[in-house]
Amino acid sequence: MTTKLTDPTLADVRVAAASVADPEFGLSVDDLGLIYDVTIEGSAVSVAMTLTSVYCPAGEVILDGVRAAVAAVRGVTSVDVKLVWEPQWTPEMVSARGREQLGWCDA
């Protein structure tokens, strides 16, 4: 019996990427608004993302975490994580859930 791998879904890839937290903020890269684009072509996934700062000391850890999390998604055979700086990240990109976790919301 042969099992055919299914191509990864955008939802599965986004959930996997969102499992990676920025160690300084303690928030997922998704809640921080660091994931700009996810492209899937068959079993190949490309993620365009940024960091909160060019000088982010945890940058490589975060990028490697996203790469590993996406690579673990069923059906993914290759992952390309592209670090981009446009648009520049701003605190306004943090999700409502992230803002609440950081205490940035008015009660």
- What is the model's pTM? 0.89
Query: What tens digit of pLDDT does each residue of 37-88 get?
Result: 999 999 999 999 999 999 999 999 999 999 999 999 999 999 999 999 999 9
**pLDDT value at 4 more than 70:** no
Instruction: Please tell me the predicted confidence (pLDDT) of residue 5.
Output: 64
Instruction: Please tell me the predicted confidence (pLDDT) of residue 105.
Output: 79
More confident residue, 70 or 104: 70
Instruction: Please tell me the predicted confidence (pLDDT) of residue 22.
Output: 94
Instruction: Please tell me the predicted confidence (pLDDT) of residue 84.
Output: 97
Per-residue confidence at 1, pLDDT binned at 50, 70, 90? very low
Contacts 24+ apart (CB under 8 A), 98-106: 98/25, 98/27, 98/28, 98/31, 98/32, 98/33, 101/26, 101/27, 101/31, 102/25, 102/27
Instruction: Please tell me the predicted confidence (pLDDT) of residue 6.
Output: 85
Cβ(74)–Cβ(8) below 8 Å = yes
Amino acid identity, residue 3?
T
